[in-house]
Amino acid sequence: MTKTSRWLSKNLIRIYAVLGFTYLFIPVIYTIVFSFNNSGKSNLVWRGFTFNNWRNPCGAADVCNALGNSLKIGFISTTLATILGSLIAFAVGRYAFRGHGFINSMIFLPMATPEIVMGSSLLTMFIGFGVNPGFWTIVIAHVMFCISFVVVAVKARIASLDPRLEQAAMDLYADERETFRKITFPLVAPGIAGAALLAFSLSFDDFIITNFNSGNVNTFPKFVYISAQRGLPAQANVIGSAMFLIALIVVLTAQFVGNRRKTTA
């Protein structure tokens, strides 16, 4: 075996990792770089470096209105989906009842249904009930598909709990409510927080279901889709870059806190 082949056999996984991460982050790097483009009306060609887009992220028409709608829809749908999904996760994960297996299977149905089918079906349902598509139809649609992801995430956290901790609390004369408040909920809280972040990212990023059920309400993904045909304004790249950086900071902070707890435990 030659030196080259030995080197490749030792570093093949590293090479795959570098190529994989390069493939994943090229669109992100492109988005960040073109947020500094002195683009004017079109952002298809690099025309020079500028900070003006970051100083005035609302410079493009309707971009901040669309962003505001996406944030409001995301917060409302995330709150509702997290509450309902967590309750379902506790019911399915902790209790045995008639129809348990059927409900457990149905949880995955919205996740497996193609978005275009779900979006068109919801639109048909809203029209059948005489409801005009708009802000609240988007919220209802987002809650419907986010609940499944919340249930799966929270249920996985519940399944990992050691029941002996709750039994020990009750042996020390804690009632069921106090045990849930001081033992169960703090242990499940990281799973609920992660499910909420997942639900918000899914809601904020959704285009297909939103496009069917939004009516005249514009969201950030819709704004990007409509603007892409004539060249996405640099302000949209600024918002996309800011959302990526915020998500990165949240992930790194959670990782740091988790590692800090492990070292102090």
What is the average per-residue pLDDT within 229-258? Answer: 84
Average pLDDT over residues 136-144: 94
Task: Provide mean pLDDT across the span 94-120.
Answer: 85
Q: Which residue has the higher pLDDT, 151 or 173?
A: 151
Is pLDDT above 80 for 239? yes
Give CA torsion, residues 210, 214, 216, 220, to 10 deg. -30
Residue 94 lies in a domain: yes
| Residue 3 exposed, middle or buried by CB count within 10 Å (0-12, 13-18, 19+) | exposed
Using a 10 angstrom Cβ sphere, with 0-12 exposed, 13-18 middle and 19 or more buried, the burial of residue 49 is exposed
pTM for this model (two decimals): 0.85
Is 119 inside any structural domain?
yes
Q: What's the domain range around 183?
A: 62-264
Return mean pLDDT, the chain: 87
Residue 10 lies in a domain: no
For the chain, the domain total comes to 1
Average pLDDT over residues 5-19: 83
Whether residue 2 is contained in a domain is answered as no
- Whether residue 37 lies inside any domain: the answer is no
Decide if pLDDT at 263 tops 80: no
Top mean pLDDT of 91-95, 218-222, 253-257 is at: 218-222
Q: So what's the pLDDT on residue 7?
A: 77
**Is the residue at 133 inside a domain?**
yes
B/e letters for 191-226, b = 16+ CB within 10 Å, e = fewer, are: bbebbbbbbbbbbbebbebbbbbbeebbbbbbbbee
State residue 265's pLDDT score.
Answer: 59
Q: What is the CATH number of the domain that holds 124?
A: 1.10.3720.10
Whether residue 29 is contained in a domain is answered as no
Give the pLDDT of residue 124. Answer: 93
- Per-residue pLDDT, 3: 75
Residue 253 pLDDT > 80, yes or no? yes
Mean pLDDT of 172-186: 83
Q: Cα–Cα distance between 251 and 257 in angstroms, integer? A: 10
Is residue 220 in a domain?
yes
pLDDT tens string 25-84: 898 898 899 889 887 767 777 888 888 889 888 888 888 999 999 999 999 999 999 999
* Sign of the alpha-carbon dihedral angle for 87, 89, 93, 95: positive
Instruction: Please report the pLDDT score of residue 107 as a whole number.
Output: 86
Provide, rounded to the nearest whole percent, the portion of the chain with pLDDT above 70.
97
- Residue 233's pLDDT is 85
